[in-house]
Amino acid sequence: MSENTKQKQNLSFDDLPELLTLEEVSQILRVSKITLKRWGKKGKLPAIRINSRGDRRYKKQEVMRFLGMNAQL
């Protein structure tokens, strides 16, 4: 097992920033980026649009809620 793979397995939500990128959420939920975009349009997992390109960011507590975890503030 590579060192990078070990780091991903040991990653906890406490180590993540409050706003997550499309790529990060895609890896956490193990779904494609297209699926996340579709879920956002349906309101299943809302995204925040930032900058002039409209990049998506996801609140960590929303991702945790989506997973059924109790987000502790």
Model confidence over 14-33: pLDDT tens digits? Answer: 888 999 999 999 999 999 99
Segment 46-54 shows an average pLDDT of 94
At residue 11 the predicted structure's pLDDT band, cuts being 50, 70 and 90, is low
**Closest by CA position to 63, among listed 36, 42, 33:** 36
pLDDT on residue 23: 95
Q: At what angle are helices 22-29 and 33-42 packed, to 10 degrees? A: 100
How much is the average pLDDT of 41-64? 94
Each domain of the chain, given as residue ranges in start order, spans: 18-73
Token pair belonging to 14: 């406490």
> What pLDDT, on a 0 to 100 scale, did the predictor assign at position 1?
45
Mean pLDDT of the chain: 84
Query: CA 69 → CA 3, 49, 56, 58, 66, distances in Å?
Result: 27, 24, 22, 15, 7
CATH number attached to the domain at 18-73: 1.10.1660.10
